[in-house]
Chains A and B, each alone.
Chain A
């Protein structure tokens, strides 16, 4: 693939991001309520003079369009502003949390794709078999279960009945001075339930999708060719068919990424996972506008990046698209 394509794609992504910034800003500033009162309230009540000095400090006494221009200018320089609630730059708040969110989302994504595709391929081998029926039912169930409810049920189950997995947080604070590998195991241990909860919806969808996709591919002429060559069943399934069946899965994986972030928001809340989703939720409740905007910005950026990566891998996986733009 050409680098000019990548460049164009990235440029377009940046343009989308700019749109996101403008939209968020206008939306939030046009909403009812005085941010200065919000800030003062968080400090524990304030006088009119304090409100005035807060307005001054956060530039809230300027016209909205001027504020927008300033904000966009700042964002372009990588400055997302100061949180209304925390006495910290939004970028630091997000930097503290983006890692855990990415860890959760990527783990869930990989988990759901790996397991889902595996189930789907197995099911596709016998379209009328028991496994196939299971995948169909499981897919519908996985789709219908509210993700936060699954999380809660897992907490009930694992909190006391089977306390083999931690049900809250990402790390045992008492291990924060332990060796790196102990900490890594500890984090992975904490990751199991949240990642599984998040993965389960998509796992079901990937299973269903890859089953359908595999069935389609398995009926195609080149699979017959592969069999006619004398290729083994394993090679037919996992080499010849899966490479082709993976294309729609990739597309969906890219499109799902936004939903995955939405799901992560709920899962983080349920499992007290120290990620961006919870920051977003808390900031919305606190009317911490700069933080909300920052999180929306980063979340959209993650979607844009995921889409670009999907595009790239799609082109890698499907030679027919290479060299085309």
Chain B
């Protein structure tokens, strides 16, 4: 035993000294820590941050965005929108090649957008796209059935990866194409190794079409599902950057590490909202007064300050408060237990009622904790709340998607434009049983439908904003959902890193400018 310890100690010293001498040359390696497990690496057919982070490194896209929501050239060096808003022309760079050496052409762009339209769960993203014309190898013209102001944002790296048609266009189903796990793209990094659920190794693309980029030699995404193990890895320098960190303990702990910096920038387009959803079709909850009563009883302040230890921000609206479409005048439902009790009595539940609450299995602090908190809080207005835990995501998704729930805690992302991430929750046309993150609340309001449909095609930014403002007022009144807070996403990173991506898409954005300062 003693000998063993000594041997291992010696080995530790050997390894330690090896690790402390910079093992990397010029460009160096960036290790990204992640708790999220990607199914595969193709963002064209899979939503979610787990896929988007590596996918945006591997695949380039027509446009990219800066931190002010302004589109920037990427594979498209310029773009035009026709007067009527029904056609968008992309002029592609002519020096872009895929990792296998084949050139990127308008054919690939057209193929990619149509593939995404057909296979990506976000149906509204490219729904108005009727066809894509390719007059020449470096021009693609997107033809729309109606004006679609969200289109430009949908051409971001996170949502519109450009796939090589010669690889993905072989007739196999894109959703389960083998190349999804061995992708070939035109982005700054190429896949070197993908050990599903463990590690993704990306190597610098030496033929990247943007001169002098990327700066790094290698990006490694390490999946560490256990938060404490991940924190240790960050503290030990085993990992250099940890995006999408939402736990208050994690944030508070890594803030103390001398070599790390913490930022909450880089999540504007994600728009992650933590909310309490009501099954508005259920007998007890179809009365808006009950929903309002629960809203008045719920103390956002306690949740964000006490439960989340001040790291998360309150969220009053279906549209994330950092979005330009957010309406500040929306009613906040400041905590008022008397009013809540009065509403309950008005609705005929003066003697209280029994309800159940579900929550997505995952980060406890945002979901389970709030559910547990509501259990003790709603008791005060006579609601006897039973927490119905699900052991796993599929169980929860089955219940909520199947409309078999009363209340549920949920986290839903805005995904940049409301058309992509907001409409799906409130349009009555999107009440689709069995589909998670559709309008599972079964909320139907003709006026809301009308406003959202108008906003989807409105090209004038101010008018569009006004439509969304009215929408927000109505849903806040109807409370099919009570929005609680935005997820306190933070990024912890090594202070020696330069140009850490803090744009609207954060790390779901090509990291071709990130470099080590040494």
Q: Which A positions have Cβ atoms within 8 angstroms of B?
A: 33-34, 37-38, 40-48, 50-51, 53-54, 57, 82-83, 85-88, 92-93, 96-97, 115, 155, 159, 163-169, 172-178, 182, 185-186, 188-189, 192, 269-272, 274, 278-279, 282, 284-287
What separation, in Å, do the CA atoms of A126 and B384 have in the docked complex? Answer: 64
| Structural contact, B196 and A88, CB atoms closer than 8 A | yes
Known: A34-B398, A45-B436, A166-B236. 8 other contacts (CB 8 A): A41-B397, A86-B197, A87-B40, A159-B228, A174-B19, A177-B23, A188-B8, A192-B8
Q: Kindly supply a per-residue 1/0 record for chain B positions 147-177, scoring 1 wherever the CB is within 8 Å of any chain A CB and 0 otherwise.
A: 0000000000000000000000000010111
| Structural contact, A175 and B15, CB atoms closer than 8 A | yes
What are the residues of chain A within 8 A of B331 when measuring CB–CB?
Answer: none
CB distance from A157 to the nearest CB of B (A): 13
| Structural contact, B222 and A93, CB atoms closer than 8 A | no
What separation, in Å, do the CA atoms of A45 and B239 have in the docked complex? Answer: 32
- 13 A-B residue pairs with Cβ-Cβ distance under 8 Å, sorted by A, are A34-B398, A43-B39, A44-B48, A45-B435, A48-B435, A167-B229, A169-B222, A175-B18, A176-B201, A177-B23, A272-B224, A279-B197, A285-B392
What separation, in Å, do the CA atoms of A50 and B173 have in the docked complex? Answer: 11
Chain A residue at minimum C-beta to C-beta distance from B435 = A45
What are the residues of chain B within 8 A of A285 when measuring CB–CB?
Answer: 361, 391-393
Of residues A37, A43, A47, which shows the largest number of chain B Cβ atoms within 10 Å of its Cβ?
A43
Known contacts A155-B228, A172-B19, A178-B23; is-contact A44 B238 (Cβ 8 Å) = no
| Structural contact, B436 and A185, CB atoms closer than 8 A | no
What are the residues of chain A within 8 A of B1 when measuring CB–CB?
Answer: 115
Number of B residues contacting the other chain (C-beta, 8 Å)? 65
CB distance from B479 to the nearest CB of A (A): 23
| Structural contact, A45 and B437, CB atoms closer than 8 A | yes
| Structural contact, B226 and A269, CB atoms closer than 8 A | yes
| Structural contact, B435 and A42, CB atoms closer than 8 A | no
What separation, in Å, do the CA atoms of A174 and B239 have in the docked complex? Answer: 9
What separation, in Å, do the CA atoms of A72 and B345 have in the docked complex? Answer: 61
Q: Which B positions have Cβ atoms within 8 angstroms of A?
A: 1, 8-9, 11-12, 14-15, 18-19, 23-24, 29, 31, 37, 39-40, 42, 45-48, 121-123, 173, 175-178, 180-181, 195-199, 201, 220, 222, 224-226, 228-230, 232-233, 236, 238-239, 361, 391-395, 397-398, 401, 432, 434-438
B8 CB contact (under 8 Å) in A57, A155, A189:
A189
CB distance from A211 to the nearest CB of B (A): 17
What are the residues of chain A within 8 A of B173 when measuring CB–CB?
Answer: 53, 57
B12 CB contact (under 8 Å) in A96, A159, A177, A189:
A189
What separation, in Å, do the CA atoms of A169 and B395 have in the docked complex? Answer: 29
Q: Is the interface of A mostly helix, strand, loop or mixed?
A: helix
| Structural contact, B394 and A286, CB atoms closer than 8 A | yes
| Structural contact, A87 and B178, CB atoms closer than 8 A | yes
Chain B residue at minimum C-beta to C-beta distance from A167 = B232
What are the residues of chain B within 8 A of A272 when measuring CB–CB?
Answer: 224-226, 229
Known contacts A45-B437, A87-B39; is-contact A185 B393 (Cβ 8 Å) = no
What separation, in Å, do the CA atoms of A227 and B88 have in the docked complex? Answer: 97
What separation, in Å, do the CA atoms of A274 and B224 have in the docked complex? Answer: 10
What are the residues of chain A within 8 A of B222 when measuring CB–CB?
Answer: 169, 173
B121 CB contact (under 8 Å) in A46, A48, A88:
A46
CB distance from A203 to the nearest CB of B (A): 10
CB distance from A101 to the nearest CB of B (A): 13
CB distance from A55 to the nearest CB of B (A): 12
What are the residues of chain A within 8 A of B18 when measuring CB–CB?
Answer: 175, 178, 182
A168 CB contact (under 8 Å) in B23, B224, B394:
B224
Chain B residue at minimum C-beta to C-beta distance from A163 = B236
| Structural contact, A174 and B23, CB atoms closer than 8 A | yes
| Structural contact, A185 and B228, CB atoms closer than 8 A | no
Known contacts A165-B8, A174-B23; is-contact A45 B37 (Cβ 8 Å) = no
CB distance from B234 to the nearest CB of A (A): 11
A93 CB contact (under 8 Å) in B31, B46, B197, B398:
B197
What separation, in Å, do the CA atoms of A93 and B196 have in the docked complex? Answer: 7
What are the residues of chain A within 8 A of B31 when measuring CB–CB?
Answer: 173-174
| Structural contact, B197 and A43, CB atoms closer than 8 A | no
CB distance from B238 to the nearest CB of A (A): 6
| Structural contact, B39 and A282, CB atoms closer than 8 A | no
| Structural contact, A172 and B238, CB atoms closer than 8 A | yes
| Structural contact, A88 and B11, CB atoms closer than 8 A | no
